[in-house]
Every structure is written in C-alpha cells, then in structure tokens.
C-alpha cells in the first residue's frame, strides 16, 4: 500500500518517471546459478524479498495503468561509509578491531555480490536519463565473493593476521531466508543504462574501513 500511495503521488505531481529500489532478494534460490532479469521467475525465500516482489508487481501494474514510465532497480549488497552498524561489514570491522571471533548469521562460504554506494547512486542517476517504459534491472558489482574471503580482505586492511581469522556462527540462524550463492547478471544495466560500476571491491572496502576507523563510536552501536 505504501508503494501504491507513492505511485499515486507521482502521478498527481506529474512525475516523468517512477524509480523503485528493489532487491536481489526477490530472486530467491535459482538452479541457473545466475540472477538474470530475463526468463527467471522470482521465488523469494525471505519476508524482505517477498514484500519487495509484491511492490514490484504494484509498480508494474500502475505503470501500465497510468502510462507512467517506471524502472525497478534490483540492487544487490550495497556497502560503504555510513552503513548501519549491525550489518555485515561494520560487524566484521568491529570484531576484528576487538580481536574477537566473527559471529556470523550465515555460512562463511555464502557468496554475495557487493556494490559500492557511490555506484548505486550513479545507477539511479542513469535511470533518470534513459527513456524506458518499464524495466527491471540488476544493479550489482558483477563479481561474487564469500563472506570468509571478504573478512580476509578487511583483516588485511586493518593490519590483522588473516591466518588467525576466527569465525563462529551466531546462535541465531537465518539460513532458511538467506540465499547461499548470489551471482548477478549485469548485462541489462550495461546495455540499457550504459552503467558499469567504477569502484572495485578492494577500493570500496578501503574507503569503508577508513571511514569507520575515523568514526569509532559508530561501531560501538553494533550488535554484541
């Protein structure tokens, strides 16, 4: 209903386009191994993914009904300065800084596709500038990395011995609502939006780690 109300407002204000920030969680688990917008029926396994998919359907219907162009951006794992302190990357930074084991809610071998926040902003700007009737488009870095390998990269940036990386599973288990392997097809973003991420994972992680090191109080807000 919230999405429908915002779309109604866009129509009242005579907006030229409606851009909806969705998520890769709409895909759920797929046998293809690659999340592609074409010929892949989304089957979300989390409440977040299900609610976003429902909102996408609202946007699609209202776009056709009101003849108002709309773009659905299925944004993958976004990171960068200012992230909520209890999310994965700030959590890893905090635990490594304190020389404590990483208490993970997911398997350390789970793979995600990360994209730096500045690139997400550029993708949104690109969506403003293209003539599109309706499209769903993946916005991702295009490369996957496991949580363990991500933690190793962060340990290196912090000057910690990555060979002594201690990883423990949290007592909370979210495995039923988390996809084990996320691999994005970004060809549609390149073709339609002419968008290619400019900040690689190594550079983005360094910017993120540097920001949190200069804002130590933020990390103290992270979950224990």
Which one is predicted more confidently, 193 or 143?
193
DSSP letter string, 177-192: GS-SB--B--HHIIII
What residues form DSSP beta bridges with 184? Answer: 35
Helix axes 147-158, 201-213, angle to 10 degrees: 50
The answer to whether residue 210 scores a pLDDT higher than 90 is yes
- Choose the most confident range, by mean pLDDT, from 5-19, 42-56, 209-223: 5-19
| pLDDT single digits (tens) 14-64 | 999 999 999 999 998 877 778 899 877 888 989 999 999 999 999 999 999
Closest CA relative to residue 189, chosen from 133, 135, 139: 139
pLDDT the model gives residue 177 = 65
pLDDT the model gives residue 174 = 65
pLDDT the model gives residue 139 = 98
State the average pLDDT for the chain. 89
The CATH classification number of 2-219 equals 3.40.50.720
């Amino acid at each position: 209903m919230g999405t429908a109300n915002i779309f109604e407002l866009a129509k009242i204000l005579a907006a030229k386009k409606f851009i909806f920030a969705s998520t890769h969680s709409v895909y759920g688990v797929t046998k293809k191994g690659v999340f592609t917008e074409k010929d892949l029926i989304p089957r979300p396994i989390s409440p977040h993914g299900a609610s976003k998919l429902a909102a996408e359907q609202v946007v699609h219907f209202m776009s056709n009904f009101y003849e108002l162009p709309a773009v659905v951006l299925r944004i993958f794992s976004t990171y960068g300065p200012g992230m909520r302190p209890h999310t994965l990357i700030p959590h890893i930074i905090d635990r490594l800084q304190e020389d404590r084991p990483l208490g993970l809610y997911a398997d350390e071998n789970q793979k995600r596709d990360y994209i730096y926040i500045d690139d997400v902003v550029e993708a949104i700007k690109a969506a403003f500038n293209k003539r599109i009737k309706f499209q769903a488009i993946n916005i991702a870095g295009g490369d996957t990395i496991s949580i363990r390998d991500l933690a190793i990269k962060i340990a290196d940036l912090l000057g910690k011995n990555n060979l002594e990386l201690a990883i423990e599973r949290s007592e909370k288990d979210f495995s039923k609502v988390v996809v084990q392997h996320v691999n994005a097809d970004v060809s549609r973003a390149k073709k339609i939006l002419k968008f290619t991420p400019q900040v690689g994972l190594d550079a983005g992680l360094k910017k993120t780690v540097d920001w949190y090191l200069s804002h130590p109080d933020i990390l103290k807000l992270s979950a224990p």
